[in-house]
A and B are shown apart, each in its own frame.
Chain A
Amino acid sequence: MSQQSLPNKPLRSVEYKIVLLGESSVGKSSILERLQNNTFNEDKSSTIGAAFISKKIPINENKDLINLQIWDTAGQERFHNLTPLYYRNANCAIIVFDLINLDSFKKAEYWIDQLNNYIEEQLIGIEIILVGNKCDLINEGEECSYINIINEFISNHKEIKRYLQTSAKENINISKLFQDIIDNIDDEMFHPIEEENSKNLIDLKFKKNSYNSTSCQC
């Protein structure tokens, strides 16, 4: 997580909210662990409740700052009534399913329906990205056994902006997934960092000048 010392202060910033949805065990938390620590854990415990991660990413030679705010939700059914809380203000929803588990794809369809209802009600835009995880479990030269169902669903759902096959285990397409999101953030969403806010940013830093870190954990 540690970031290099940066030459100048960012002038513009954006808060970009991402939510991960999908059935239990498809690998949502593993994808985020790969993003955060570049590690993978075979015995990951299922998420209970939800986890919030914020990640600051400077772009354009540090002129702009993207503050990714990511909600990792629990796939376990007993938390489903809370899930709308997490996609309510999202700019982007990553719907994850397991490429070797058709039921998990049905769950992905369910979440996309839920999102569509919400988008229609609220007349807002949420970028929808579909992710088939655990592609490492598909044998070389073969396809996902229900590839036809996936393709048909995607062609009927134009609201799906992108579809990616990933592996958190083998680190396939994870950084591409987030890089694509970052690259597609609408320039109009950036706003100038006001004096007030930049003060807050500085507050979070270590105060002695010998520290180059741009963020502490809070």
Chain B
Amino acid sequence: MINYIIISSSGKPIYAFDNNNIIVYSAIIQSIVSYFTYSTSPNQLINSIKNNNSFINFAHYNPFILISISPINHHHNPSSLSILYNYLISLLSKPYIDKIFNKYPNFDFTKLLSNSDILTLNSICHDLSLNNNPIFNYNSLQTLPINYKIRSKINSKFNSLSTSNLLFGLITTSNFKLISILKNIQNSNHNLHISDLSILFKIISSSNNFKLNSQYITNETFWLPICLPKFNSNGHLYTLIQFVELNDSRYQQLHSISANNNTDKLLIILMSPFKDSFNELKKISNNLIKSLLFNKKIFNSIYNPLSINLPIPSSIISYTIKNTSLLQFIESPSNSSSSPLNFKNSTIIIENYSNYKLFACKLSNYEIYLKINSSTPESQLLPISKSILNYCISNNHHLFIQ
């Protein structure tokens, strides 16, 4: 397992994924880091130390020092520490954090963390150490395949409800498969970044705060201030979060469709720069929900999404296909999301494990990742990938959001 440790620049412990010995660690780490800081250029210093059995990575993003300690040979996501740093910024924004630490260099940051925040940190570290979060691994969002005509109907409905105080909007499933996205910005310098959304998704899924997994139908709507560090690390966006239960027999009767139990919940996310725009956004959300639930075609397309019928032999255990120009991906239903292969400069990689192989290739603007039975001959892999590519090209508009 990888351990992640966060301390303040002055050496105060903030967080440890495995929190045995954090006090001892933080003193040692702080002295190592100050050594590096004074010997090279300050700030955003990243360094690593290697010994016989572990790799220690440091990042000094003032006022935080972040460390990962991983076994040697472990596939380590190189963005891990910046993901954790961005999460800390998302809580309070950069200027606010700087202000506190400029005033009180010895500030105990744990005072500002609630148990929900610790759960989110644990969950991010868990994902990073097991490499099992595809959004982190592929830096892209998963989509819900929907007939493109219906999707554009949803998009235009969403657009028509938008107001000037709505900056971004997303409709996803409860496991964050994207159905529709709305960007209401003239200024294209600012954009919605995958890494910002990945933080928001972790916040929503990691505590029981948002009742994501509640068996009860709740009609709660959440209003969350969050700083999206890549979008703008200086300010907050105010985010309306609302879940909509789809597994309600009344909808099935209303639309005379059968229950496939495919998509259980919808998630509506609406973001505004203004803290008092809740009522406005809530109205948008209510109208949006009505138009999604009461239109048979739309409801059905979400409730029973298109199935992906890739032309693949049964020797393929699982797949992930990323559209690199849209930064979106789809994956097989049973995906164990193993660590992403690093292309470096190559376009094809094969790694052999005891009872399976990992294969990845870049074709056109797609990356295709396959987990296959060891017995599959390597000569078959490229032809299989090419037929996957053809499938994706001809179904691109259903699979991905343009």
Q: Which residues of A contact B (CB under 8 A)?
A: 1, 24, 36-37, 39, 41, 43-55, 74, 76-79, 82, 85, 203-204, 206-208, 210-211, 213, 216-218
B264-296 vs A, CB cutoff 8 Å, 1 = contact: the mask equals 000000000001101000100110011001100
Residues of A within 8 A of B294 (CB): 207
**In the docked arrangement, what's the CA distance between A82 and B238, Å?**
11
Of A49, A208, A213, which one neighbours B223 at CB under 8 angstroms?
A49
Asked whether B111 lies within 8 Å of A77 as measured between CB atoms, the reply is yes
Asked whether B114 lies within 8 Å of A85 as measured between CB atoms, the reply is: no
Closest B residue by C-beta to A200: B286
Please encode chain B, from 155 to 198, with 1 for each CB lying within 8 Å of some chain A CB and 0 for all others: 00000000000000000000000000000000000000000000
Interface check B356, CB cutoff 8 A = no
Question: Smallest Cβ distance from B263 to chain A, in angstroms?
Answer: 16
| Contact assessment for A43 and B225 in the assembled complex, using a CB-CB cutoff below 8 Å | no
Contact A46 B116 (CB under 8 A): yes
Query: What are the 8 A-B residue pairs with the smallest beta carbon separation, nearest first?
Result: A49-B224, A45-B207, A46-B114, A45-B116, A76-B114, A45-B209, A218-B289, A52-B221
Contacts A43-B208, A218-B290 hold; do A78 and B221 have CB atoms under 8 A apart?
Answer: no
CB distance from A116 to the nearest CB of B (A): 22
CB distance from B292 to the nearest CB of A (A): 10
Q: What distance in Å separates the Cβ of A123 from its nearest Cβ neighbour in chain B? A: 21
Contact status of A51 and B216, CB under 8 A, knowing A43-B208, A74-B114, A78-B91: no
Q: Which of B225, B244, B253, B293 has the most chain A CB atoms inside 10 A of its CB? A: B225
Docked complex Cα distance between A77 and B216 (Å): 29
A39 with B216, Cβ < 8 A, contacts A46-B115, A48-B116, A48-B224 known? yes
Contact B293 A208 (CB under 8 A): no
Question: Chain B residue with minimal CB distance to A213?
Answer: B250
B239: chain A residues at CB < 8 Å are 49
- Cβ-defined partner of A47 (8 Å) among B112, B209, B221: B209
Across-interface contacts of B152 in A (CB, < 8 A):
none
Whether, in the assembled complex, B108 has its beta carbon less than 8 Å from a beta carbon of chain A, the answer is no
B92 within 8 A of A: yes
Task: Report B103-129 residues with CB < 8 Å from chain A CB.
Answer: 111-112, 114-117, 119
Please, which residues of chain B bring their CB within 8 A of the CB of A204?
A: 290
Question: How far, in Å, is A86 (CB) from chain B's closest CB?
Answer: 9
Among A44, A45, A53, point to the contact of B219 (Cβ < 8 A): A53
Interface contact B116-A210, CB-CB below 8 Å: no
Distance in angstroms from A65 CB to nearest chain B CB is 16
Q: Does B148 contact A (CB under 8 A)?
A: no
Residues of B near any A CB (own CB < 8 A): 91-92, 111-112, 114-117, 119, 203, 207-209, 216-225, 239, 244-245, 250, 253-254, 275-276, 278, 282, 285-286, 289-290, 293-294
Given the complex, which residues of B lie within 8 Å of A37, measured CB to CB? 216, 218
Bound form: Cα–Cα A78–B111 in Å: 9
- In the assembled complex, which residues on chain A have CB atoms less than 8 Å from the CB atom of B207? 45-46, 48
Nearest chain A residue, comparing its CB with the CB of B96: A78
A211 and B116 alpha carbons, distance in the complex (Å): 39
Q: Complex Cα distance A201/B218, Å?
A: 19
Complex alpha-carbon distance, A49 and B117, angstroms: 12
Cβ–Cβ contact B217 & A24, under 8 A:
no
State A70–B225 Cα separation when bound (angstroms): 18
- Measured CB to CB, the closest approach of chain B to A201, in angstroms, equals 12
User: Are A78 and B92 in touch, CB under 8 angstroms?
Assistant: yes
A-B contact pairs, 22 of them (CB 8 A): A1-B219, A37-B218, A43-B208, A44-B208, A45-B115, A45-B116, A48-B116, A49-B222, A50-B224, A52-B220, A53-B218, A54-B219, A77-B111, A78-B92, A82-B225, A82-B275, A85-B275, A85-B276, A207-B254, A218-B219, A218-B289, A218-B290
In the docked arrangement, what's the CA distance between A202 and B114, Å?
41
Tell me the nearest residue of chain A to B119, going by C-beta: A45
Please, which residues of chain B bring their CB within 8 A of the CB of A218?
219, 244, 285-286, 289-290, 293
Interface centre among A82, A203, A217 (most CB of B within 10 A): A217
A210 in contact with B253 (CB, 8 Å): yes
Chain B minimum-CB-distance residue to A73: B223
Q: A51 contacts which of B114, B208, B222, B285 (Cβ < 8 Å)?
A: B222
Given A48-B224, A85-B276, A208-B254, are A217 and B115 neighbors across the interface (CB < 8 Å)? no
A203 neighbours in B (Cβ, 8 Å): 290
Nearest Cβ in chain A — how far from B290, in angstroms? Answer: 6
Taken together as a complex, chains A and B put the C-alpha atoms of A213 and B278 apart, in Å, by 27
Chain A residues near B112 (CB-CB < 8 A): 76-78
- By a CB distance below 8 angstroms, the chain B residues around A76 are 112, 114
Task: Give chain B residues whose Cβ lies under 8 Å from the Cβ of A44.
Answer: 208
Given the contacts A45-B119, A206-B254, A218-B289, A52 and B282 also touching, CB distance less than 8 Å: yes
Q: Nearest Cβ distance between residue A83 and chain B, in whole angstroms?
A: 11
Given contacts A206-B250, A218-B286, A218-B289, contact A49 B216 (CB under 8 A): no
Q: Are A24 and B223 in contact (CB under 8 A)?
A: no
How far is A210 from B251 in the complex, measured between Cα atoms in Å? Answer: 12
